[in-house]
Amino acid sequence: MTSAVETKDGDLNGMQLALALGNADNGVYSLADKIAKAAEAAGAEVLFMLPTAADDGMTAMLRVAGPPERFLQLRTTGPDMAVAEGDDIDPYLLRLAHASLDVLGRIGADRDNPTAVAEAIFEAS
């Protein structure tokens, strides 16, 4: 992906992500695979990827382990990409990222305590 990259000054993870995305461009991987490989190389975890409305790119939400935990939004459109962090992230996508993590945490807790899940199901019926 030879492209223009927008990041804020001092955004190390954003720059690492952009560089990793550029290095992943070999014509073999899909855009989703490139984003996943770039996130891994930048030390981030992909929470979700959504196609753009015009279906000419992706928006991905990434989590960078902390402390403090941070989020990055990667937007690709055609050959261009932008990495946003903090207040520059779409607030709806940030809320979706937090909600996704909350649900995944609850699923993990349920797996660790199947008896409580069975009791909750029994009580609800």
pTM of the model as a whole: 0.69
Average pLDDT, the chain: 76
Could you tell me what percentage of the chain is helix, strand and coil, using 3-state DSSP and rounding each to the nearest 5?
A: 45, 25, 25
3 state DSSP class of 110 = helix
86/5: higher pLDDT:
86
Range of weakest confidence among 1-10, 37-46, 90-99 = 1-10
- Say how far apart CA 96 and CA 74 lie, in whole Å: 15
- In terms of DSSP bridges, do strands 5-6 and 80-85 run parallel, antiparallel, or are they unpaired? parallel
**23 has pLDDT over 70:** no
